Structure 1
């Protein structure tokens, strides 16, 4: 039954309005960012353009962007009293978890594409267009960033693996937001908490001098010197732990409600 409901949710979500939101996140947002930065920075290599494209809007608003992928549509069902009607047809556990699965898949894919599309443009398309001028380093050291260790595998593997990492984090923040809305039944509060968690994590790590464990820098490490790859997993594990606790809490609450 869960698999069937997941299919139903996928069919329901592909509306023109939602597709326009996805297109804006994947194509329009990077295009605007490119127009803003293309003439205002020095680039020593094509990778610098990619790093700069992911250094403003996306890192700052990452949890909010992830909520816009799918979870933002759920409060309308709560507001319109659609959920009590659904409960007559299928168990609430099946209904809620089908939405969590669809949300996880879509947010992962969109977060992946938000990074991978600019990567492909920066590394493989822009060099043919010649819009951005590269400057010689003149002996100046290039500030390498975390994840550039993966360049030893090749440029494309680096782009894919890094985009997968952003996708995983995007999925977790989107899942946290949807879980909180399901639990609290207060959309504004539920969707705000992941963003507050994100900002608070950045603030605490900076105050105590552990910037390498900042939620932002471990996903978008373009404003900090290169760190060992293991450091990025510390906030990710904490985030996963929080999401798992919320899943268990929601499951227990639904079982009690059903009983």
Structure 2
């Protein structure tokens, strides 16, 4: 099955996939360049937060759906999955497509976040787009590095080097993206209305954010645990609470389909 998963991944690495990635990257960086013109920043870490903490936290669930699930919904709508039963069990087809969905979404977001990091840390300083005045924040050459360690959640990792931080944080965003894509995958199977199935992840994402804010549980809001740039630093274990809850939801969906294979035809 591993070979079939790789075949499915390669099949979906189309020019449209690359175009979506490129347009997303350009949009994120362009907005950050425009936005940063109106601010005085501390350092490149703050510029990195400007790059990611603009439109991306809002459109995050939309992009996770567009990477793979949007085209998969078309296959479900045209009952393509049912036709594959002549070649292999339909559950096997679902597992192949689910894994391909997770892998592609992970790669999409990992590379996206990592390129944004490289731009903020290594390209922008040579171009001179942003204005940096660390002294205005009470920072000097002696204490600015220590300040980054306690600024945002996950910047604790900067103590082990910027590359370590960039890789692990990119991995974190990519894992969350893959998780949202996995849940969206099953919603497309369960919900007959294609538009509703594709829109529901975003709707739930927004409703959950406002619900947690109203319950004074803002620290666990879904956009913050992935892009924690507008609050003080929290312990590293706290962002994993919403992640684990969503992971359990995904596993429940997977278990339900596995235990009810006879219903897969009606889903698809």
**TM-score, length basis structure 1:** 0.92
Unaligned runs of 5+ in 2: 140-146
> Which moved further from structure 2: 43-52 or 128-137?
128-137
1:13 aligns with: 12
Is the CA contact (8 Å cut-off) linking 1:5 and 1:94 kept in structure 2? Answer: no
| Aligned-partner Cα distance in 2 for 1:198–1:121 | 28
**Distance in 2 of aligned mates of 1:185 and 1:5:** 27
- Between 57-66 and 4-13, the greater mean CA deviation after superposition: 4-13
Out of 243, 249, 254, the position equivalent to 1:242 is: 249
SS at match of 2:136: coil
231 and 257 in structure 1: CA distance in 2 versus 1, 3 angstrom threshold: closer
Judge conservation of contact 1:145–1:227 (CA < 8 Å) in 2. yes
SS in 2 for 1:229: coil
CA contact (8 A) 1:5 1:95 kept: no
Q: Indicate yes or no: 2:207 matched with 1:207.
A: no
3-state DSSP of counterpart to 2:232:
coil
TM-score relative to the length of structure 2? 0.89
Deviations 1:32-78 (A, max 9, x none): 22332231221110111100111121101111111111111012212
Secondary structure of residue in 1 paired with 2:132? coil
1:33–1:53 Cα contact (<8 Å) kept = yes
Report the Cα distance in structure 1 between the residues aligned to 2:34 and 2:157, rounded to whole angstroms. Answer: 28
Change (3 A) 1:201 1:30: same
Give 1:32-43 correspondences, 5 Å limit: 32-43=30-41
Structure-2 residue corresponding to 1:197: 204
Deviation at 1:9, TM superposition (A): 1.1
Number of matched pairs: 256
Pairing of 1:13-32 with structure 2 (within 5 A): 13-25=12-24, 27-32=25-30
Q: Report the alpha carbon displacement of residue 21 of structure 1 after superposing the two structures with TM.
A: 1.6
For 2:109, what is the secondary structure of its paired residue?
helix
Conserved 8 A contact 2:106-2:174: yes
| In 2, Cα distance between equivalents of 1:187 and 1:137 | 53
Tell me which residue corresponds to 1:251: 258
SS at match of 1:231: coil
Root mean square deviation of aligned Cα: 1.9
Runs of 4+, deviation exceeding 3 Å: 139-143, 255-258
Structure 1 counterpart of 2:117, from 102, 116, 119: 119
Q: Unpaired runs of 5+ in structure 1?
A: none
- From 224, 236, 253, the equivalent of 1:217 is 224
More deviation, 168-177/249-258: 249-258
Match of 2:142 in 1: none
The answer to whether the Cα contact below 8 Å between 1:71 and 1:177 also exists between their aligned partners in 2 is yes
